[in-house]
Each structure stands twice: as structure tokens, then as C-alpha cells.
Structure 1
Amino acid sequence: MTSGFRTLSRADVVALGGTDPQAALEDICDVVTLMRQNAAQMPAETHVSLGTPRGKAYALPASVGGRFNAAGVKWTAHRPDANDKLPQAMALTLINRADNGQPLGLVESGALTATRTAAVSALALRHAAPRPVQRVLLLGAGVQAMAHLDMLRHLFPHLQQVSWWDRRASALPFETAQLPWPLIRVADLQIALAQDADAVITCTSAAEPLLGPEAIRPGRLVIQVGYHEVSFAAINRSTRVLVDLWGDFCETSAKSLFQMYRAGKFLPEHVDADLGNLLLDGWRPAADDSVYFSSFGLNVFDIALASRVLKLAAERGTGTHLSLFPE
């Protein structure tokens, strides 16, 4: 007997709370604890070419126990050279039960990925910032930037101000009346960086660094979400270097810190803390530190969030139900 298999569209995921920043934050805190307890696995990814210089499809497996009881794989196609007006990244997550392998469902994961990434940034803002965060500078206007703006709206309503920069001079992404703090559009990135932002969050697709050493200041947290947005010189100038996790992905990832490592200009032992140290060990920077946080994006979080929304879908009878095997 089996309860069947469910597919969830992005609309289903949103309706089931998959983009709720608080729920994602709670999921990630639980997963970090389970990782420390050796109740989670995250093997190395594998990928195939999509026939363009930067096009690749990645398979990212993971499993996590506890309330999630999920094993799965996230399959993401990165299509930066496609000209079909569809998203540059398309992600699906397949979930099985971790205890017996029963297939549970397939979840459209673009929104989940952005939400879990923003939740990790929320943890960094709370635990890795040298000083209480009052002013944030957000870079980018894509899916990740919008998820971060939504996270700030829900989890940091008492900020004094959020400044926002995008190289394409896009229109403001929200009706400002919906926001609990002023959202200030800035046209000149260097002028914005010279101002008193307590935290800078980079959510762009930049292939070359946007932030040089002048962006690094005592008391400031820089969170890198995108690919290669922060120069080696800026990372070198930071007094503290933090990661969500240091793993085998350092050998292939395009993130600035891992490129720096492969160039022989950064040693893993120079990482000061990861998420486990922040959440479970109470690691904190000094008030005059300049902190750089590299957010790789852990697929074990995707497995956990997809598992949660699939369980809710089964309870509520939502999504598209398929019978894979004879009942």
C-alpha cells in the first residue's frame, strides 16, 4: 500500500507556505542541529552540460532526519544563455521518505530555493553582524533579491532603512506602502557603499566582482549570495570570514571565496565560523570586525523545505496526486 505521489507547482508551494520566511528560518535551524547530530547527509553534486558555455544541469542529493524524514535530489538547470524569457534557473526537487525510500513527490523549487537562501541571510544578520543591523544595502533585482526583500519585510520590520541598487535601474519592486521601513533607490553603487550600511547583501548574477576592498568596513557585514560579486582583495581585507558550510563544493563552485581557494589565495583553516558555530556554539564577531559571509546554498535545506510542503499538501489534499504503484 502507498499513499501515492504528489506534484506541486510553484503556486501550490506558495499556497502551502513554502515562501514563508519564518517557517523557512525554523526549518534551517532544525536542519543545522540535525547536521551536527549526524542526522543529515549531503554528498557531492554532479552535473551535465546543457550545450552552452555556461549552461549546466546539476543533481544535488541530500537526506535529513528528524521531523523531515526526507531523502531527495534537487535537479537544477542553469540556463544563463537562453533567450526564451523563461527563468535562467529552473529547479525541481524529488522527495522520498528517508526511512523506507517511499517516493512522496516532486516539487517546483525555484521559490523554495530563494526562500531558504534568504533565511540563511537572516541568520547571518542576527548572529554574524558585528553590530545591531539598522541599515541594509541590497544589490540585485532578480528572484533572490526579491526573496531577501520579503525576508527583511517579515523578519526585520524595525530596520531604519533599506537601500536598493540594481545595475539596470529597475523600478521599485514593491509598493513602498507595503514596507515597514523606507526603501531608497540608489543609482551609484560606490556612493551607496560609502554610506553607513550595517549590512550589504549581494544578490546579483555578476560574473565579475562588484565589491572591492573599499566595501569592507569595521562593523559591517557583507553577505554574498550570488556568484563572483566580491573581489579577492575585499575578502582579504575582511577580519572575519564565515560560510554556511565548507564542503567538497569548494573544488568546483563559482563563488568568490571558493575561486580564491582554488587560486591558492585562501586556506580553509582561515574560515572563522559556519552556521553550526553561529547557531549552536554561540560564535560572535567583535563590534569592530569586518565580516564576510559566503552563502553557498546548501541543498539539504531544499530537501527539508520540500519535505515540509509535501507533508502539508498530503494533509490538505492539494497538488496533483498520482498513483505510481498498485494500491
Structure 2
Amino acid sequence: MLVVTEEVCREVVGRDDAFTAVENVFAAMAKGDAYNFPVIREAIGYAEALYGFKSGFDRQGLALGLKSGGYWPGNSDKGLTNHQSTVFLFDPDTGQLRALVGGNYLTAVRTAAASAVSISHLAREDAKVLGMVGAGHQAAFQLRAAAEQRDFEKVVAWNLHPEMLDSLGDVAKDLGLPFDVKEREQLAAEADVIITITSAHEPLLMKQWIKPGTHIACMGTDTIGKQEIDPAVMAAAKVFTDEVAQSVTLGECQHAINEKLILKDDITPIGSVINGSAQGRSSAEDITVFDGTGVGLQDLAVAHVAANLAESLGKAQEISL
């Protein structure tokens, strides 16, 4: 069995690797070659933690396994990231445990890769201003991945706690992009692409603020009750997601569905756009929304890449059970 540590994952898996892995697994899902198993996610009644499992199988990429972990809100006070996870990969031919892979960095990089895939396939080619709503740990990953998809000339940002925006500004500076702090309405007026990555439970962006042609990647809503944008945005937009079943139950689309503003059939898997079996943006005026709920197959895809690269580079530990 291979053991691939967090440090090794950071060494061997780059943004290009994560982008390709996530794009491929979304395409496989749309073709029926990969599927997620039901998610288990529970409050454990201790340390205010949420804990659960995401699992699945990709017949095309031969990634079989599960991610185990969750959210510990007190970890930041201990110098740890609040999200903690580990990926277990199994040999699909034998069922034997093949690899134990650190999941914290991979979760961040695969989430950023998902929004980057949506920008690649749905944003206008001439998009120049990137809007960031949220400035937590994940935001820096999102900004770096998004910046590689279009020739952005500027980043505008908002966060509930403005003092956190300095670190995001440093990332923009590192990328050579001007960075401005804006109120949400002004951000929406300027941005051609908007990424929301918060833990909000109420809409942060209203429909009347969103200009024609905007692409929005909603990356923070992964639980019943969470919400980042006005449900009316969905009714005015072409809506895409990683997995429709999750989108309507715990993703950003849950609210528009519950208010009967859209139907399940109005939501298109982004894998179908990648495969060419569904249309993405049809005009420069379209508002497009990607509801990134986060699926287990994303974790398995990037962990599979990490295990293969670590083994080939001699960086994986090999142990016997």
C-alpha cells in the first residue's frame, strides 16, 4: 500500500494536473462512465464538527475509493485548516487498498480546478475583470486557478471581514493583476467572471446587480441551507453543475428549485458541455452559472493522479498491512 503525505501531494500535483483530472472526471460522469455513491455527512455532536464520506467509481480513469473527513470550525485557533480529510484508493481489479492519500491540499486544488473548468468552458473569451466574493483559505486557490483561464486585467473583491482581503490582494499582486476592494453591487457591475467562495446562508449577490454576459461560479454552497446568490439569478441564467442530484438538494440551486423558479431539467451537467453533447454559452449576453457542489469523484480523480505521480517519482511510502 502507498502512503502519499500532504507534503508530497503539494510537491507532485499542480494546477494543470488538477484541472485535467477534474475536467476528465466531469466528462466521464456525463457519459455514465463514472458515478458518485450517496454522501454521508453528519454533525457528530463534538467540537461542533461535521464529518462524513464521499465515494464513487470512475470506470474510465479506474479510480475507486472514498474521501473521509469534514469540517472542524475550531481548527483555525490551533493553527490547522478547518477542513480535514484523507482519501482511500482501492484497486478496482482486486478490492485491495492501494493508497492512503492526504486530502487537505487536494480538496483545495480540486475545488479551484472545478471553477476553473467552468470558466474555461462557459465564460466569455473576452472576460477582463475577475470578481472574488470571499477571502478565506480557499479563495487564494480559486484566484490562482481562475487567472490561468482568461487574460484578466484586474481583480475586484469583497469579503464580510474586509481585513482578510489583504492576503488575497497579495496573491493578485503575485499574479501581476491590479486588485481593488469593492462593495458587492459595484463588484457585480464591473466583473465579467465572479467566483463566490463563502459559507454564507443568505444571498450575497442580487439579480439586478448582475450584468449580461457574466459567468458566476458558486463554489461555497455544499450543504442544505447554505446560499450565496439570489435565486432569481438562476431563473435569468443558463445553469450548469457538477452533479444535478447534489445541485438540487444541497447546492446553490436548492433555493431556486424550492421556490419553483427553475426545474431540475433546467440544470445541465458541465460534463455534457465538455463532451460536446450540450451547449454552453450561446451568446455574449448569456448569464451563466456553475453550481459547484463538490463531488467525491473530484477527490478520487486528483488523489489517483497524486498516487501515480508520487509512485513514479519515488516519493510515496510503501507499507504492508
Q: Is the 8 A contact 1:52 1:81 kept in 2?
A: no
Question: 2:224 matched to which residue of 1?
Answer: none
Q: Is the 8 A contact 2:85 2:103 kept in 1?
A: yes
C-alpha change, 1:276 and 1:320, in structure 2 (3 Å) is same
Q: Is the 8 A contact 1:244 1:294 kept in 2?
A: yes
Let me know the Cα RMSD of the aligned residues. 2.3
SS in 2 for 1:283: coil
Distance 1:258 1:54 in 2: 24
Q: Is the 8 A contact 1:44 1:249 kept in 2?
A: no
Offset, 1:9 = 2.3
Offset, 1:309 = 0.8
2:272 counterpart of 1:277:
yes
Q: Encode CA deviations 1:183-213: one digit per residue, 9 max, x unaligned.
A: x131422222222x11111011212221111
Question: 2:71 matched to which residue of 1?
Answer: 78
Distance 2:173 2:108 in 1: 23
Offset, 1:264 = 4.4
Question: 1:241 matched to which residue of 2?
Answer: 239
Aligned residues: 310
Offset, 1:84 = 3.9
Which amino acid counterpart does residue 203 of structure 1 have in structure 2?
I
2:34 counterpart of 1:40:
yes
Distance 2:10 2:195 in 1: 24
SS in 2 for 1:123: helix
Question: 2:9 matched to which residue of 1?
Answer: 13
SS in 1 for 2:205: coil
C-alpha change, 1:103 and 1:77, in structure 2 (3 Å) is same
Question: 1:191 matched to which residue of 2?
Answer: 186
Structure having the larger proportion of residues in helix: 2
2:130 counterpart of 1:136:
yes
Question: 1:230 matched to which residue of 2?
Answer: 229
Structure 2: 5+ residue runs without aligned partners? 222-226
Q: Is the 8 A contact 2:189 2:210 kept in 1?
A: no
2:263 counterpart of 1:267:
yes
Identity between Structure 1 and Structure 2 (%): 24
Offset, 1:221 = 1.0
Distance 1:22 1:83 in 2: 29
Distance 1:129 1:83 in 2: 34
Q: Encode CA deviations 1:58-116: one digit per residue, 9 max, x unaligned.
A: 211111133x3221001121223667433222111111112221211221212212212
2:96 counterpart of 1:93:
no
Which amino acid counterpart does residue 258 of structure 1 have in structure 2?
Q
SS in 2 for 1:247: helix
2:124 counterpart of 1:124:
no
Q: Is the 8 A contact 1:77 1:90 kept in 2?
A: yes
Distance 2:292 2:134 in 1: 15
C-alpha change, 1:319 and 1:215, in structure 2 (3 Å) is farther
Distance 2:157 2:288 in 1: 20
Distance 1:102 1:149 in 2: 38
Q: Encode CA deviations 1:34-72: one digit per residue, 9 max, x unaligned.
A: 334433221111133221696321211111133x32210
Structure 1: 5+ residue runs without aligned partners? none
* TM-score, length-scaled by structure 2: 0.87
Question: 2:176 matched to which residue of 1?
Answer: 180
Offset, 1:175 = 5.6
Q: Is the 8 A contact 1:153 1:180 kept in 2?
A: no
Distance 1:138 1:8 in 2: 32
SS in 2 for 1:317: coil
Q: Is the 8 A contact 2:134 2:158 kept in 1?
A: yes
Offset, 1:31 = 1.7
SS in 2 for 1:13: helix
SS in 2 for 1:229: strand
C-alpha change, 1:114 and 1:223, in structure 2 (3 Å) is same
Which amino acid counterpart does residue 109 of structure 1 have in structure 2?
G
SS in 2 for 1:208: strand
Q: Is the 8 A contact 1:243 1:293 kept in 2?
A: yes
2:283 counterpart of 1:289:
no
